[in-house]
Every structure is written in C-alpha cells, then in structure tokens.
C-alpha cells in the first residue's frame, strides 16, 4: 500500500471517525457482549492469555510499549470475542478498526475504542493506520487487527495479511506483535465450541534494513502456524491446554437426561 499510494492521489478520503472510549461504555458493552457470547456457545476456551499479562491493569510491571493483536477472521464473532477478551477477560486498554460505514451507523462502538477505516480507499486506510500509530505510540495500549481484511473460511490456506500491519509497525518503531487464532467447532453439542489461542508477543524494533513485506510474511507464517495448531486441537478435541472462559446453556439432550434422571 505504501508504494502504490502514488497511483491513488485522486481518491477522495473520508474523515476518520475517532475512538472516544469511556469506562462506563466499556463496562456496559463488555457485559452486553459477554452475555451474548455466553448464550451462543457451549464452551469458550482460551490458551496463551498469560503472554499478554503485561498489558493488563493488574500486571506487576505494566508494559509501556504497544501490543498489536492480529487475528484470524472468518466470523462475525471474531470481533465480538475480541471485545469480550479486551473488556472482560484481559481488561486491555484496547482499540480496534471498524468499517467506516458500520461505525457511522453504530456510533456506540467509538465508546469502546473503535475508530474507522475505509479499506477500499488506500489513502483513507493509510490515514487510519497513522491515527492508530498516534494512539498507540509510546503507550501500553493494544490494538486488534484482522489483517486478512475480509471474512475467510477458517480452513482456507494460506492465511494472508494485508500490508497495514507492517506499515503500522514501521510507524510505531517499536511494538509487540501477537497472533490470535479463533476457531469454531460444532461437534458434540447443540452449540459450537470456541477455541482461542494467543501466540507469544514478539517485540519488533524497526530498523533501516527491515521491509514491510518481511513483517507481513512473518505475521502470515505465525498466524498460519497458530491457526493450524488450534485446528489440530479442535479435530482431536484436545481441550487440555485451554482454560474455559464461558460455559453456556446445556444442550437439549443433556437437559432431557437431567430431567429424566438419566445423566
């Protein structure tokens, strides 16, 4: 995107809708999305959250460099889960990018840290990335990114990342990058199970010999490896590494078994 920008000089940019997070809105919407998650899934399980403990409010030594969580994206739930993870589970001081039209329509998302991006407009997208850098630089704040750029079925490979992640890393100079894989499996229960794994954050310090393409490629490799690992766990129903965050309502046959005394 950086180099090819010269081809888009006539493109009209849209003003960024900026985030305006408030504690009250975070409390309200955190609980709202948590209820929604709890009622929609059998289990929500997470692995690797300890790696981002330094960005949580109760950390003995809070990180003072930004964290970029770049995640797989194949469901509407990815964004909802990222909100629950940020506001309820990890309590990160987190931000996120949201499609401009959607944010214009649902302005309350600004109150939990969303700012707008127009992906189809490279200049506007670049401005959003600059805005993200301004918000994050020199802080212990976090940003969720879905670098695949669109909803892509969870088993499609390779997982590709758009250049935004690399550009943002260059703008920040120093940042920690952590891949996040979301996976949804409907196997043994009425409602699906969610597997979430957060990869170890990796510190990236930008230097003159680095290239955006290399950051992207490494991000793609890490995200693919992480998603493959979660897929293997899901296929084997290996839940041992995961901590259960939420347990939803019982499946109908379990409820029936309880009522009839067969459980």
Partner 1 sequence: MSVQVLTDNEFPQTLTDNERVVVKYFADWCGSCKLFAPKYRRLSDDERFANVTFVDINAEENPEARKLANVDNLPFFATFRNGQLVEGGATAKEDVVVSMLERLTT
* Chain residues in the site for partner 1 (CB under 8 A): 22, 24-25, 27-28, 31, 107-108, 111
Which lies closer to partner 1 via its Cβ, residue 31 or residue 211?
A: 31
The residue (of 96 and 192) whose beta carbon lies closer to partner 1 is 96
Joined together, the tokens standing for residue 205 give 């310090």
25 exposure class (CB count in 10 Å sphere: 0-12, 13-18, 19+) = middle
- Residue 40 tokens read as 């929609």
Nearer to partner 1, 111 or 231 (CB): 111
Least Cβ distance, residue 114 to partner 1 (angstroms):
12
Q: For residue 185, what are the contacts with CB-CB under 8 A and spacing of at least 6?
A: 192, 193, 194, 195, 234
For the CB of residue 15, give the shortest distance to partner 1 in the complex, in Å: 20
Using the minimum distance from each CB to partner 1, give the nearer residue, 103 or 226: 103
Pick from 90, 87, 92: nearest CA to 32: 87
For residues 144 and 154, give the distance between their C-alpha atoms in angstroms, rounded to a whole number: 18
109 versus 146: smaller Cβ distance to partner 1: 109
Residue 27 CB, nearest distance to partner 1 (Å)? 5
d(CA 171, CA 165): 10
Q: How far is the CB of 23 from partner 1 (least distance, A)?
A: 8
Q: How far is the CB of 110 from partner 1 (least distance, A)?
A: 9
């Amino acid at each position: 995107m950086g180099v090819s920008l010269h081809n888009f000089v006539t493109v009209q940019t849209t003003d960024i809708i900026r985030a305006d997070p408030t504690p009250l809105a975070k409390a309200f919407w955190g609980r709202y999305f948590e209820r929604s998650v709890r009622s929609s899934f059998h289990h929500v399980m997470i692995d690797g959250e300890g790696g981002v403990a330094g960005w949580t409010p109760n950390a003995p030594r809070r990180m003072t460099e930004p964290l970029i969580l770049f995640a797989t994206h194949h469901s509407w739930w990815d964004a909802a889960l990222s909100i629950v993870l940020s506001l309820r589970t990890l309590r990160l001081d987190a931000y996120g990018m949201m499609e401009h039209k959607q944010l214009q329509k649902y302005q309350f998302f600004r109150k939990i840290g969303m700012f707008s991006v127009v992906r189809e407009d490279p200049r506007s997208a670049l401005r959003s990335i600059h805005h993200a850098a301004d918000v994050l630089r020199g802080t212990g704040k976090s940003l969720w990114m879905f670098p695949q750029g669109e909803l892509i079925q969870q088993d499609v490979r390779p997982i590709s990342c758009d250049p935004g992640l690399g550009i943002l890393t260059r703008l920040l100079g120093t940042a920690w990058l952590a891949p996040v894989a979301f996976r949804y499996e409907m196997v043994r229960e009425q409602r699906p199970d969610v597997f979430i794994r957060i990869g170890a954050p990796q510190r990236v310090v930008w230097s003159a010999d680095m290239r955006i393409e290399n950051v992207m490629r490494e991000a793609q490799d890490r995200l693919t490896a992480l998603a493959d690992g979660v897929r293997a766990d899901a296929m084997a129903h290996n839940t041992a590494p995961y901590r259960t965050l939420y347990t939803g309502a019982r499946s109908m046959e379990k409820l029936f078994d309880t009522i009839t005394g067969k459980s």
